[in-house]
Amino acid sequence: MPYENLLVEASESIALVTINRPKVLNALSAKTLEELEACFREFQHDPNVRVVILTGAGDRAFVAGADINEFADYSPLQAREFSLRGQAFFHKVENLGKPTIAAIHGFALGGGCELALSCSIRIATQSARLGLPEVKLGIIPGYGGTQRLPRLIGKGMALQMILSGEPISAEEALRWGLVNQVVPPEQLLPAAKDLAKKIIANAPLAVQYCLEAIHQGLNVSLEQGLLLESALFGMAFATEDMREGIKSFLGKRSPQFTGR
């Protein structure tokens, strides 16, 4: 399906989504968000998509935030709706049941940083600048930044980033665990694809259960999280892939997983 603001390519079970509004540093307009929602709806039910990589067009930005032109005149109620809608989509990204990788070059600010935060893994180039600059506009992060950032990097550094509004470099982001890897620009997509292929070689349901255990588990007590882990561990034993995984290991051959 052709999109106005997205480029979508799929090969080798990897969907590559490029947010394509380079003139405005790939700012997330309502239309772009709508297209992302449609695209992720398709991915969720497409067994041929095992990993989604998100990136931005051009060489200046991943995404420089929500489109400021669109929300400048919002009433408080419209602003709340805007926030709820973005949050709902980012929740879907996080709970897609398939890993998502943000491939970040240049600016990942505001909604762009929040989009990256909702992905499973973040890979950046040295040029990346990540930040939540909303306070500079007199507003606050509204797409999950105040919640996901402290959960990922801890309260202290999250407070520093959110209260100062100052972006941090790729190296700082790596030190704080905001990004997983920093690579040269020409390695950005190859590194994301290499990682995607390693994930794809594993049993799809096991990968899905790991995502679920981590995402759901982080939001409940340790006891509840451990119970969830045991339940999902048990579920893995109901899969054909579990039998194939064990059999292939014992038979000293590569597993042929089917996702069942």
Cα angle for residues 133, 135, 138 (degrees, 5° grid): 130
Residue type, 198: K
How far, in Å, are 27, 218, 219, 227 from residue 223 at the CA level?
41, 11, 11, 6
- Smallest gap from residue 67 Cβ to ligand COA (A): 4
CA dihedral of residues 46, 193, 6, 30 (deg, nearest 10): 80
Q: Say how many CA atoms lie within 13 Å of 112 toward its Cβ.
A: 33
Catalytic residue among 34, 42, 134, 229: 134
Instruction: State CA 46 to chain mean position distance.
Output: 18
Residue pair 157/176 in contact (Cβ under 8 Å)? The answer is yes
Nearer to ligand COA, 159 or 226 (CB): 159
- Smallest gap from residue 37 Cβ to ligand COA (A): 19
Catalytic residue among 35, 81, 114, 223: 114
Q: Which two tokens stand for residue 88?
A: 């709902």
List the one residue out of 88, 3, 99 whose CA is nearest residue 44: 99
Nearer to ligand COA, 168 or 206 (CB): 168
Mark whether 244 is an active-site residue: no
Nearer to ligand COA, 66 or 206 (CB): 66
Mark whether 114 is an active-site residue: yes
Nearer to ligand COA, 85 or 197 (CB): 85
- Smallest gap from residue 121 Cβ to ligand COA (A): 23
The 10 Å CB-count burial string (b at 16+, else e) for 138-157 is: ebebbbbbbebbbebbeeeb
- Smallest gap from residue 28 Cβ to ligand COA (A): 8
List the one residue out of 260, 231, 230, 220 whose CA is nearest residue 244: 260
Angstrom distance (rounded) from CA 185 to CA 183:
6
Nearer to ligand COA, 137 or 220 (CB): 137
Residues forming contacts to ligand COA in the complex (CB under 6 A) are: 24-25, 27, 64-69, 107, 109-111, 133-134, 137
Nearer to ligand COA, 38 or 68 (CB): 68
- Smallest gap from residue 246 Cβ to ligand COA (A): 49
State residue 36 phi and psi, 5-degree precision: -65, -40
- Active site (catalytic) residues: 114, 134
